[in-house]
Structure 1
Amino acid sequence: MSDDLLEILCCPETKVPVEMLAADRVEKLNRQIAAGKVTAVGGETVQKPVQEALITTDGKTIYRIDDNIPVMLVDQGVATRQLEDW
């Protein structure tokens, strides 16, 4: 993802800026997705593993990136408070 795009993106609900989610955190998230333990803000269980993701700078919400396109939809965000050992 380009730095220029990353610089202007923010959480659509809180307007908190976002940054790339570190690779080790992506792996940790995917393990919990595979275990069926991750629910999107909209209430649906997340089933598809994440290749890349953005996280708000306050560390509260994760937004997936699909095919290099950030999915900045509130209902599809993942609240980190539900994640074990985050």
Structure 2
Amino acid sequence: MPRGLDEESRATIGRFAIKAIISAVLGSFGEIGRFVGTDGWLALYALFCGVFALRRGERFPSVSFNYWDEVCWLISASAIFHLFLTGSG
């Protein structure tokens, strides 16, 4: 059994990290009452990843990480940011 992650899984993790960083940067520009914060950007990226997964015909679960895994991670991160940063449910 090979050790470590395959190339597709590493690419998925890299895309997620980049999107999380960009979301944090874009979300930090807003003030109180902002239109879209970090949680909103993460949710928007999750929506786009879902569309990409459907267009590519990816299956969940898969042998390696793919866009569906990224959708799950982005939605989870968005919910965490929403709960802890805005203080509302």
> Shorter-chain TM-score: what band?
under 0.3
More strand by share: 1
Q: TM-score, normalised by structure 1?
A: 0.25
- Which structure has more RCO (C-alpha within 8 Å, separation ≥ 6)? 2
Q: TM-score, normalised by structure 2?
A: 0.24
Compare CA radii of gyration and give the structure with the larger one: 2
